[in-house]
Amino acid sequence: MNTTYSAKKQDTIPEWFVIDAEGVTLGKLAVQVASILRGKHKPTFTPHVDTGDFVVVTNADKIQVSGKKSDQKLYRHHTGFPGGLKTRTFKEMLEKHPTRIIEKAVKGMIPHTRLGRQQIKKLKVYAGTQHPHEAQQPKPLTVN
């Protein structure tokens, strides 16, 4: 009788990947990063166990979107005070907080549960080409 394999946390060894976001479309990058964070690229993927890997994204300030999204795409957040809804366009976010663009896109593709919060912590985003994770020897990865 065959049994279904279920991965365990102690059996998984996370790897590190580095992705260069220069000239890459935001949505395509976010889909691939979310898949790696969840561990869906591994044959031992188990939905209720964190089998994902760490992802370092560099050059977040050079990410692209298609069409007129740079002027029309809006990012909103509320301060918690009356009348505190703040709105910024993609261009403004790219100038002031380029790392938050990728973080928000990937966070929307991760489950909104305790496991998802654990998986999103494995995402490291940097605006430039330099990152402090060279000691982990991340493998370069390209976005399709």
Domain contains 34: yes
Residue 2 has pLDDT above 90, yes or no: no
Does any domain span residue 83? no
State the CATH number of the domain containing residue 111: 3.90.1180.10
CA distances from 2 to 5, 41, 44 (A): 9, 23, 16
CA–CA dist 8, 143 (Å, integer)? 29
Residue 79: enclosing H or E segment and its boundaries?
none
- Residue 1: the pLDDT is 78
The answer as to whether 116 is a domain residue is yes
Dump pLDDT digits (tens) for 14-52: 999 999 999 999 999 999 999 999 999 999 999 999 999
Q: Which domain holds residue 54?
A: 15-64+98-141
- 125 located within any domain: yes
Q: Report the domain count for the chain.
A: 1
Reported as a pLDDT band with limits 50, 70 and 90, residue 4 is confident
Which residues are within 8 A (CB) of 107 and not within 5 positions of it... i.e. 6 or more apart?
Answer: 120
| Pairwise CA distance, residues 95 & 41, whole Å | 33
Asked, for residue 1, whether it belongs to a domain, the answer is no
Flag whether pLDDT at 5 surpasses 90: no
The arithmetic mean of pLDDT across residues 117-125, rounded, is: 97
Whole-number Cα distances in Å, 17 to 12, 30, 76, 78, 116: 16, 14, 30, 33, 19
Residue 80 included in any domain: no
User: For 76, phi and psi rounded to 5 degrees?
Assistant: -120, 145
**Confidence at residue 3, expressed as pLDDT on a 0 to 100 scale:** 87
Whether pLDDT at 62 is above 90: yes
φ, ψ of residue 33 to 5 degrees: the values are: -65, -45
In a domain, 102, yes or no: yes
State the pLDDT at residue 14.
94
On the question of pLDDT at 58 being above 90, the answer is yes
pLDDT, one tens digit per residue, over 66-117 is 999 999 999 999 999 999 999 999 999 999 999 999 999 999 999 999 999 9
